[in-house]
Amino acid sequence: MVRGEAGASLLEAMIALVVLGTAGTATAGLVGQVTRSVENAHRREAELRSANAFLEAVSLWSREDLDRRLGTRQQGPYLLRVDRPEPTLYLLVLSDTLGSDLLRTSIFRPEPSGGM
């Protein structure tokens, strides 16, 4: 083997190792980023499940309970806003403590029969 060819082969091998190392580093960074994204998605899903369970419980409240809680107030780890735009319609908005809406729904409660 000629001396120039041996030097070129060594240079090619070093360049290949640098390219391989760079690709490996980029791949490892991408895997870490994907892992964090999946963890965040799981955490968000668990938060929404918990919020949904809470809002389901709130949707079972009586008309009187809803009327007592009109407005925005802290309810456990959430902010719950109860509005009554119509005499029989309640709007419920569940937000996190930063004020970002998680869930919202509207529920119907008939007016009490009788003298009210």
Residues 68, 70, 72, 78: is their CA dihedral positive or negative?
positive
Looking at the chain, the whole-number percentage of residues with pLDDT higher than 70 is: 93
Amino acid at 76: G
Supply the pTM of this predicted model.
0.68
Give the pLDDT score at 36: 94
Residues in the chain: 116
Q: What is the mean pLDDT of residues 96-110?
A: 91
Give start and end residues of each alpha helix (H) in 60-83: 63-68
pLDDT tens string 41-96: 999 899 899 999 999 999 999 999 999 999 999 988 899 999 999 999 999 999 98
Give the pLDDT score at 51: 92
Give the pLDDT score at 8: 83
Q: Which two three-digit tokens encode residue 85? A: 């735009």
